[in-house]
Structure 1
Amino acid sequence: MDGFLIQFVAGLKTTVELAAVSAMLGTALGLLAAAGRLSKLRWLSVAIGSYTTIIRGVPELLVILLIYFGGTVAVSSLFGQYVEINAFLAGVVALTIVSGAYMAEIFRGAVLSIPTGQVEAARSLGLHPWQVWGLVILPQMMRIALPALANQWISLIKETSLISIVGLTDIMRVASIGAGSMRAPLTFYLAAAALYLLLTTIALIAFNLLERRFAVPGH
């Protein structure tokens, strides 16, 4: 087990980087998708609705495999020779697409829960639509959506373990290699479980602090 300590540290770093990048990009995608879903342009709303419905109805593992192998086929066809895409990049793309779909629905639900009178009042003051979003909708939306976003981001941390199937050397991959080579699966998988629990606990504490920070006084 001692010989795998450095590998576990490297795997932990990879997992944190993958989760952080995917969370940031997924949040940005979710915001854009929510705005499109609420758009008055019917074709855009339908397109975004189809995206969220399809992605939420397909297993995350299948999305990862499609991105990884589909991306490899596409890039290989482009260059005329076999080119295997980077596992980390495939993981970021896949998790961004998946988390973006879930976050889009979280943000959409949060926006719909904001009293319409506030939005109408902002528009009556002559604010530009982007100002209405930035000054009225976005701050309230984030406060309302924060509990659901916390659950989604914590789930994202755990979902990074799926990327190990395409060769990414993360926590799960290190545990699998160690379990096979040392013939001590219980020890290595318990170590992996402890590391994931550490990450999710830290995330949970951070989100609890954020919820307190954005809580409405008197509630």
Structure 2
Amino acid sequence: MLLQGYGPLIAQGTWQTIQLAVLSLAVSFVLGLAGASAKLSKNRLASACATAYTTLIRSVPDLVLMLLIFYSIQIWLNNLTDLIGLNPLEIDSFSAGVLTLGFIYGAYFTETFRGAFQAVPRGQLEAGAAYGMTRWQIFRRILFAQMMRFALPGIGNNWQVLLKATALVSIIGLSDLVKAVQDAGKGTYNMFFFVLIAALIYLVLTALSNLVLIALERRYLVGVRKAAL
């Protein structure tokens, strides 16, 4: 057989990678919205905290951050359980990977959303308020919809980088695609072949992601192109 019996292991690792990437994207998306709102807030404390978050995270390599965050979470859990007299809790690798990647890339999404929010004409928000819309309605119907049009290129770029960054979680023991091909390569003494298989799988995933991003861009550009003609 081409994969020498390691096909199911690689398929399972690929599925684990997809789950990890999608859930990390959700966490980073929420953190990005919160961070962008904080940076644009008139509250100096919130703005300063968000600025410190993005500056720190974007200045330290992802691998170093992953190790720091993973072990710090475990240390905090151990200290907490010791304080309240419970048995030690060990966070599983998957949850740790999701939280770590989400926290790291939330900083990048913060800057993406901040620029996109600032690109939306303020007059349209004022018009929504004049029509009697609530702040939530203005955000949902006007601000978010138009912000996404400006943010999609950055979102797509962040997603592609996040998807590739999932390869880092193998260092904390998660059985993702990289860990699967490493095991297969060691078991068959043909590491180059299985690493090439991983590269091709990542290429397929990014290509499929591009199709989804193109569809989203068309969705949020409805009416814009016609108006520009």
Task: Give TM-score scaled by structure 2 length.
Answer: 0.90
What is the percent sequence identity of the aligned residues?
Answer: 37
What residue in structure 2 maps to residue 45 of structure 1? 47
Picking from 47, 57, 64, the partner of 1:62 is: 64
- Residues 80-91 of structure 1 aligned to structure 2 (within 5 Å): 80=82, 83-91=89-97
- Contact 1:64-1:90 within 8 A present in 2 as well: no
Instruction: Name the residue aligned to 2:218.
Output: 212
Give 1:87-106 correspondences, 5 Å limit.
Answer: 87-106=93-112
Shift of 1:76: 2.5
Paired residue type of 1:201: A
Q: Is the 8 A contact 1:52 1:101 kept in 2?
A: yes
Aligned length: 219
1:23-59 CA distance string (max 9 Å, x none): 1121111111111111111111111111111111111
- Runs of 4+ with deviation above 6 angstroms: none
Amino acid at match of 1:207: L
Residues in 1 aligned to 2:215 and 2:173: alpha-carbon distance in whole angstroms: 35
Q: Deviations over 1:107-162 (max 9, x none)?
A: 11011111222222223334333222222211000111111101111111111000
Q: Aligned ranges for residues 1-219 of structure 1 at < 5 Å?
A: 1-80=3-82, 83-215=89-221, 216-218=224-226, 219=228
Cα distance in 2 for residues equivalent to 1:52 and 1:108? 11
Q: TM-score, normalised by structure 1?
A: 0.94
**Cα shift at 1:83:** 4.6
Q: Which moved more, 1:157-166 or 1:64-73?
A: 64-73
Q: Deviations over 1:75-129 (max 9, x none)?
A: 2333346654211111101111111111111011011111222222223334333
For structure 2, the residue ranges without an aligned partner over 5 or more in a row are none
Q: Return the letter of the residue paired with 2:36.
A: A
CA separation in 2, counterparts of 1:71 and 1:138?
Answer: 33
Deviation at 1:213, TM superposition (A): 2.0
RMSD: 1.5
Report the more deviating stretch, 196-205 or 69-78.
Answer: 69-78
Contact 2:145 2:220 in 1 (8 A): no
Measure, in 1, the Cα distance between the counterparts of 2:190 and 2:64.
29
Q: Which amino acid aligns with 1:14?
A: Q
Displacement of 1:64 after TM fit?
1.1
Unaligned runs of 5+ in 1: none
